[in-house]
Structure 1
Amino acid sequence: MVQVYSAMSNSYWSKADISTLVNKFPDGQFCIVIDGKIAGCALSMIVDYDNYDDDHKYNDIIGGHEFANHNEDGNVLYGIDVFILPDYRGMRLGRRLYEARKELCEQLNLKSIIFGGRIPNYGEYAETLTPKKYIDKVKLKEIHDPVLSFQLSNDFHVKKVIKGYLPGDHESKEFATLMEWHNIYYTKPERLINTKKKVVRLGLVQWQMRLFKDYDSLVEQIEFFVDAVSDYQSDFILFPELFNAPLMAQFNHLNEAEAIRGLSSYTDRLLETFRNFAINYNINIITGSMPQAVGEHMHNVGFLCRRDGSVERYEKLHITPAEESAWGMKGGTQLRTFDTDCGKIGVLICYDVEFPELPRLLAEDGMNILFVPFMTDTQNGYSRVKICAQARAVENECYVAVAGSVGNLPKVNNMDIQYSQSAVFTPSDFAFPVNGIKAEATPNTESTLLVDVDLDLLKELHSFGSVRNMKDRRLDLYSLKRKNIKISE
């Protein structure tokens, strides 16, 4: 790739990137070897193209170095790259790679092959021809383009011209042709259940802090909310951060660090309870957060319990000064999106939403809904969470659902008072409420909030919004990358 893209600095995947891609989708990567030497490659992934629009950028759909948008349940084979080393060109090797892709597309019963194609000779004609006129002349064979001419001869057609598809492609003036090959043997699968929904119903629990006589009483209150919200056919239910704090009352004779460790002894039991409720009530449960002992350290964690019985864990990454000084909490190291039957979601616990880098990374991975379980004692603390959550919805063109606890909790140190107004926030554009608030609960009152959010509106905003925050980022000036580090306990 370094040889092939010598005119485009840093426009190649590293060995680690290729390894990641091969591990994720081995069947989609093709390689031609001649006399023991690699002569050419074709790299691809599967995407659910219904989640994207034709005016996308390369990095938007690839999902970064983790190829995060690869989806085995998708409907389109998306071409990442095809290249032939200069010494082996003219041997029709590219055609063989394209034919292999077509066979794979048919075998996997995918709707089509789609990719963005460079037009490297356009730079020679840019002063006299628009991209459209240039493409028309290539189709009529009045102009030869080494990439586009080859793709047209292999039964691909131009869907759209995209500006800025591949930053740094000066030969193409950063224009690209969105190419598609239709699989005529494609049969739309019958999926009567578990299809991804376009309108998603969220249920938020504004939890009243109160003393419970025992663990079973707490579970009874949890089940009451799960039952009530599931009766309205909600897809998700969100609980607040550290909603199980009332169980700490029995450890009040201990210091705060020992008391929170005592509370963590209930986490495994609660997880299994939530998992069973998710299955029994047919609802995806976001469990808020609970303390969990990991080695010598305490972490603030939660779980996504899907209605199919699968479970995923998320962590609070940024620990507040009070959590650190009183409980000895330590920040986690995992940040990722979660696939659900309602699309990709993210979960950030309270303080984490005040750091804009985290939701941006999740948005780059395709997140549509961000859930934020929180716990704030005063109204100014709540205002920080609310204002930041609203900003995250605008910046990342997503929905943000926040849920917290209310009331007082006597006999539990460091948990005296709570303030909350659970809400669902939206981007701010014509298709959404003028104040960016889809719905809000009554402040400081135990309640549930049921809200429908339309995922198609996010797709429309991404392409046709008054402003397009995700697309209009100046990636030529700045970038955001996560560090792949392993932290031992």
Structure 2
Amino acid sequence: MYMKELLITAPAGDGKKGRAKAVIRNYAAPDFEELIRIQAESFPPPYPEELLWNKEQLGSHVHHYPEGAICIEVDGELAGSMTSLRMQWDPSHPASHTWAEVTDDGYIRNHQPDGNTLYIVDLCVRPKYRKWGLAQLMMQSMYHLVIAQGMDRLLGAGRMPGYHRVAEQMSAQQYLDQVAAGERHDPVISFLLRCGRMPVGVAADYLDDEESCNHAALMEWRNPFR
């Protein structure tokens, strides 16, 4: 089981001073209720409530791929989580897919233990901790998992919550290209770019998401040792 402890500094203006202890570890059954609460805080309406985790899904994550189910605590309080699965992916034929298809409706029973790609199922951080850099820390842990298990890449589809504002003016691909070029800012895609993820295309009808007009940006991080 994975566990990493580190000291982090509270962001300016947060009200907390000094350093806090952060722990990144695999989540387990005793964490499920709090993880569901965190999801509700992290993805308020209009995000579909039925897409938030339930205990059966979380239990399936732990059963099928416990190494890819991590959470982060700050001074003992659960502050976020990240979930993944392994899959076989051919970058020369990046077939379009939906979130429900690639994640087995969030149950990851389609996890392939010998898959060449770590696919990110979900990432969320409690709103009050969103300036603490916790998502970047969890992403780094997933990069370490890619390297440790000899996979080729980390892959995932990021929401494009800023796209709805310009959807009548440009395609989702044009929007992604402008964000990647630094001409526009998107709260999710710009964050993924800062984490070292690179866009490989747009998935249409990926998720029921009004802000993204149901689109998502498929983005990868390649294992530098492969």
Structures share a fold, TM > 0.5?
Answer: yes
Aligned residues: 185
Matched, 1:121 2:159: no
Q: Which residue identity is paired with 2:76?
A: G
Post-superposition offset of 1:50 = 4.5
Matched, 1:4 2:45: no
Matched, 1:17 2:60: no
Matched, 1:110 2:151: yes
Retained in 1: the 8 A contact 2:60–2:109? no
> Partners in 2 of 1:127 and 1:106 — Cα distance?
41
> Partners in 2 of 1:137 and 1:2 — Cα distance?
31
Retained in 1: the 8 A contact 2:178–2:184? yes
RMSD over aligned Cα atoms: 1.6
Structure 1 counterpart of 2:68: 28
Retained in 2: the 8 A contact 1:5–1:11? no
> Partners in 2 of 1:56 and 1:142 — Cα distance?
28
Post-superposition offset of 1:54 = 3.0
How do residues 324-343 of structure 1 correspond to structure 2 at under 5 angstroms?
none
How do residues 77-96 of structure 1 correspond to structure 2 at under 5 angstroms?
77-96=118-137
Q: Which residue identity is paired with 2:66?
A: P
Instruction: Give ranges in structure 2 of 5+ residues lacking alignment.
Output: 1-38
State the Cα deviation string for residues 38-79 of structure 1 (Å, max 9, x = none).
111110011122498431111111123542210111111010
> Partners in 1 of 2:203 and 2:137 — Cα distance?
27
Q: Which residue identity is paired with 1:48?
A: Q
Larger Cα-atom Rg: 1
Instruction: Give ranges in structure 1 of 5+ residues lacking alignment.
Output: 187-489
Matched, 1:174 2:175: no
How do residues 244-393 of structure 1 correspond to structure 2 at under 5 angstroms?
none
Are the structure 2 counterparts of residues 54 and 180 from structure 1 closer, same or farther at C-alpha, using a change threshold of 3 Å? farther
**Corresponding residue to 1:75 among 108, 116, 121:** 116
- Percent of matched pairs sharing the same residue: 30
Task: Name the structure, 1 or 2, with higher relative contact order (CA <8 Å, separation 6+).
Answer: 2
Retained in 2: the 8 A contact 1:54–1:160? no
> Partners in 2 of 1:54 and 1:12 — Cα distance?
26
TM-score w.r.t. length of structure 2: 0.77
Q: What SS is found at the alignment partner of 1:113? A: strand
Retained in 1: the 8 A contact 2:106–2:121? no
Matched, 1:45 2:85: yes
Retained in 2: the 8 A contact 1:46–1:78? yes
> Partners in 2 of 1:131 and 1:49 — Cα distance?
23
